[in-house]
Amino acid sequence: EAQVTQNPRYLITVTGKKLTVTCSQNMNHEYMSWYRQDPGLGLRQIYYSMNVEVTDKGDVPEGYKVSRKEKRNFPLILESPSPNQTSLYFCASSSGTGVRLEQFFGPGTRLTVL
Nearer to another protein, 45 or 73 (CB): 45
Q: Does 63 bind another protein (CB under 8 A)?
A: no
Q: Does 22 bind another protein (CB under 8 A)?
A: no
Q: Does 44 bind another protein (CB under 8 A)?
A: yes
- Tell me if 33 sits within 8 A of 56, measured CB to CB: no
Q: Does 107 bind another protein (CB under 8 A)?
A: yes
- DSSP state letters, 4-43: EEEE-SEEEE-TT--EEEEEEESS--SEEEEEEEETTTEE
Contact set with another protein (CB under 8 A): 31, 33, 35, 40-45, 48, 50, 56, 58-59, 90, 92, 97-100, 102-103, 105-108
